[in-house]
Amino acid sequence: MSDWSPTAYLRYTDERSRPFAELLARVTGAGTAAPATVLDLGCGPGHLTALVRDRWPGAVVVGLDASPAMIEQARAGDPDGSYVLGDVRDVAAGALVAGLPERPDLVISNATLQWVPGHRDLLARLAARAAQTFAFSVPGNHDAPSHRTLREVAGRAPYADAVGPVERRAVGDPAEYLELLAGPGWSVDAWETTYTHVLDGEDPVLRWISATGAQPVLHALDAHDATHGTGLRRRFDADLGAALREAYPRRPFGTPLEFRRVFAVATRSGTGADDGPAGPGRDGRTVVA
């Protein structure tokens, strides 16, 4: 997939920021000392990483993202911040990534891990990197009308040949994440919230998912158009937009969008938690420049 669009992602900044604010509130209420170092995995354009620095002004806060465009936007929009281009999987593997704290007090992630293949297998290792707390949220809307509609329209001719199978990026339920993160010396808080966002403008649900969940499909169509001189992307936007307007009818006050999020906060609660719940700890690390 080609790179993300920070501009498209930031169209609904307030709505996309709410889950992170709720996650951050649970971290601050976990009974631990204020973190001196924080690693924000999948920081995107940096607008939420800045909230962490505002919460703990004395902390060293570093954002990491695999998107060059997002890191560029973060550095431009938040010149006082520290942002590193890198992969969550390297962090989970215990690599010493240049520019990142080796043992951050808090490792936090918002709406990122669902994009990482096999993210469940990485959770214990990511927790092992945190000296105090590992916290994350992931969208739980893989079976919402928006994503079912996306898969259905992308599976039609002529789009299916250009796009291929559309992955259903299912995440875990709170109980599953509790099971994966619970262990001796760890206290885990896992929950879910369904937000009802009221979106404005024309085709707001299309614009919402076009900046996130629909990205792989849209990039595949753009690549096909560039190679074959077709106009599939424009046709797809029209077809998907029409289907989404039917699934999410506009009301006098705007277009309601139900959006489910799943959260987990794992906090070291005593002895026996030098490593993650099932993780390898700090041995065998490699260095990533």
Q: What are residue 252's phi and psi, to 5 degrees?
A: -60, -25
- Predicted model pTM: 0.85
Mean pLDDT rounded to a whole number for the chain: 87
Q: Which two tokens stand for residue 281?
A: 């700890």
pLDDT tens readout for residues 80-117:
899 999 999 999 998 888 889 889 999 999 999 998 98
User: Which pLDDT band, with edges at 50, 70 and 90, does 284 fall under?
Assistant: very low
Sorted by where each starts, the structural domains of the chain and their CATH numbers stand as 6-288 (3.40.50.150)
pLDDT at 224: 93
Give the range among 14-18, 152-156, 199-203 with minimum mean pLDDT.
Answer: 14-18
Contacts of residue 237, defined as CB under 8 A and 6 or more positions apart, other chains included, come to 206, 210
Q: Which two tokens stand for residue 97?
A: 């990534």
Q: Is the pLDDT of residue 48 over 60?
A: yes
**For 43-60, what is the mean pLDDT?**
90
pLDDT at 90: 94
